Structure 1
Amino acid sequence: MSGTRREIPNDPGRKERILEAALEVIAEGGVHKTTHRKIAARAEVPLGSLTYYFDGMEDLLAQAFARLADTMSLLYRQTVQAAGSTAEAEEAVVELICGPAYATTRDLTLIFEMYAYANHNPAVSATTRTWLERSRDSLGLHFPTGVCRALDALIEGWPMHGAFDEAPLDRNLVAGTVHAIVAAAPDLARDRAGGGT
């Protein structure tokens, strides 16, 4: 029988597959066209599995967006953490904005959907706030607080604009803008002491 506990030990990755399937369905048609049936079909699981793991569609969407935020935050931190100087940290920020790994077309679509849905769902709104805090915390490994806020706005916003702009991102312009923000910080002395700029 679908959705019973007997199914679970035989398919331990089922919940994760459902969440990933939900993100795929959202990316293809948006939250407003996402249904239990579409998610179950994409995940190749019985429809009853969704009600076993999730307390309705709102809960499923909230957990799917939390999964997205966790994945993106991890990549974000890994990219920034690998920098050994302020200059390398600036390049990491440029890579987050312009590079192919972070904020792919699919990711941007999901981010748009998450931000819109966050306006109407407290759980997703909390996920979004936590994501911002985690991003700024990662940038804080190399930059002062005010710079972190400005750079994070660039990292999120510039690719979003780029999604609707036919012209490709100008990496030199992005790099120059990032450097200008970092150089304008009044308390950059501690970063410069590390030999970055």
Structure 2
Amino acid sequence: MTGSSRGPNDPGRRDRIIEAALDVIAEHGVTGATQRRIAEAAGVSLGSMTYYFDGRQQLLVEAFTRLAESMSDRYRELLDAARDVREARAAVVEIICGPVWGRPRDLVLSYELYAFTARDPALRDVVGSWMRASRAALGKHFDARTARALDALVEGFSIHNSMDTDPTSRADVAAVVEAVSAGATPPRPDTEG
């Protein structure tokens, strides 16, 4: 149970703390994301952090959950707008090459999430939920095996392109997406949603 029983004076404070945690993680990494730094970035007292969170661990889990949900929403919006497989392929290319995965801050936060999850199993549920959401969005257009392959492709290309001095071009990404999904069978109606 968190802190005191009286209500918050600033209803936006909890969200501000979570966003500040993501900013601090992006700048200093998980190991540098101390409660003191996060409180300072959020413009709140260190003591007031205990009102909203049982500790640093809970705050990190909630911050990474927010990141995963935000990324999933952007991913899903592009795929939901696709009316057919051709448009779904174009959406996958946009996810890889556009700002959905390509924002430097989001990439750094994703790397931090993966590294933190490798060391702390409590975050595996967050990552697992994110992967299931991504595959479900892809599953509206592609069979389960292809959706899984495309999801891995999204992450792989995004990571490689962010690190490579000669990133894969949009045209080459599109060719690979086409090749991976060429033999895909349409999803069965009873597996949609």
Same fold (TM over 0.5): yes
CA distance in 2, matches of 1:172, 1:92: 13
How far did residue 6 of structure 1 move? 5.2
Distance 1:7 1:103, change over 3 A: farther
Question: TM-score, normalization: structure 1?
Answer: 0.89
> Structure 1 regions of 5+ residues with no counterpart?
191-197
The amino acid that maps onto 2:172 is L
The amino acid that maps onto 2:161 is G
How far did residue 125 of structure 1 move? 1.1
CA distance in 1, matches of 2:47, 2:166: 46
CA distance in 1, matches of 2:121, 2:53: 17
Paired position in structure 2 for 1:113: 112
How far did residue 5 of structure 1 move? 5.4
How far did residue 68 of structure 1 move? 0.4
Task: Please give the residue correspondences for 1:25-64 in structure 2 after superposition, counting only pairs within 5 Å.
Answer: 25-64=24-63
CA distance in 2, matches of 1:6, 1:144: 50
Distance 1:188 1:142, change over 3 A: closer
The amino acid that maps onto 1:72 is M
Question: TM-score, normalization: structure 2?
Answer: 0.91
Say how many residue pairs are matched: 186
Q: Does structure 1 conserve the Cα–Cα contact (< 8 Å) formed by 2:160 and 2:167? A: no
Q: Does structure 1 conserve the Cα–Cα contact (< 8 Å) formed by 2:139 and 2:187? A: no
Paired position in structure 1 for 2:94: 95
The amino acid that maps onto 1:89 is A
SS in structure 1 at match of 2:102: coil
SS in structure 1 at match of 2:156: helix
Paired position in structure 2 for 1:182: 181
The question of 1:17 aligning with 2:16 is answered: yes
CA distance in 2, matches of 1:178, 1:117: 29
How far did residue 184 of structure 1 move? 2.6
CA distance in 1, matches of 2:26, 2:33: 9
CA distance in 2, matches of 1:120, 1:59: 15
> Structure 2 regions of 5+ residues with no counterpart?
189-193
